[in-house]
Amino acid sequence: MSEHQYPASLTHGLSREEILNRLHNRLDEPRYEHCLRVEATAIELAKRFDQDVDRAGLAGLLHDYGKEIPVETYKRVIIEDGFDPDLLQYGRGVWHGVVGVHFIQTEVGITDKQVLTAIARHTTGDPEMTKLDEIIFVGDFIEPARSLPVEAKARKAAETNLEEASRIELENTLTYLIDARKLVFPKTLLTYNAFLTKE
């Protein structure tokens, strides 16, 4: 587990302990521990691919902050805060990224755009994903407690190639949703298409 300290400029002076407290208040124990593992994985990936370790760790730590916020709260925020009303068709699986950043801003006070964007994009992807976005997207999928064959395959790919790991994850997400006859967020398909020619 990482005990990475974050620069005050990124947390508006909040200590790591205070961030952990606020995250823990929002999440049950297993999900809180998942977040700590994604933080450590994101830091590792950031070092491996020469990206900003502070932003990667912080985004990894907070990526699931909104996962247990009540559905009714999300619906209210989507309507009142000017989010795309199409989002109402989806559920917390999508919302905790795109809309979850709203709560991270208002309740944890993080305002760094790169951190918030990486969190926003971790559930849906985006055709314009940055390396930092990819690190959170992939870090969530390959953290050490994930043990499915497709996760192991992505973990192996991520040793050298973040785009390939992202592609494996995108394909898995899309085929899972289609096999289960669930709605696919259109931007996730556009992300898949964009990754076919990436790198």
- Tell me if 45 sits within 8 A of 135, measured CB to CB: yes
Q: Note whether 192 binds a second copy by CB under 8 A.
A: yes
Q: Could you say which residues in the range 135-174 bind a second copy, by CB under 8 A? A: 167, 171, 174
The C-alpha atoms of residue 128 and residue 4 are separated, in whole angstroms, by 28
Residue located via tokens 């314009």: 128
- Cβ count near 30 (within 10 Å): 8
Among 29-37, 44-52, 63-71, 186-194, the segment contacting a second copy (CB under 8 A) = 186-194
- Tell me if 199 sits within 8 A of 166, measured CB to CB: no
Count H helices and E strands in the chain, helices first: 12, 0
Q: Is the CB of 85 or the CB of 181 nearer to a second copy? A: 181
- Which of 22, 33, 190, 198 forms a contact with a second copy (CB under 8 A)? 190
Please name the helix (run of DSSP H) or strand (run of DSSP E) that holds residue 169, with its range, or none: helix 162-179
Q: Note whether 189 binds a second copy by CB under 8 A.
A: yes
Number of residues that bind a second copy (CB under 8 A): 16
Q: Is the CB of 18 or the CB of 86 nearer to a second copy? A: 86
- Binding residues vs a second copy (CB under 8 A): 167, 171, 174-175, 178-179, 181-184, 186, 189-190, 192-193, 196
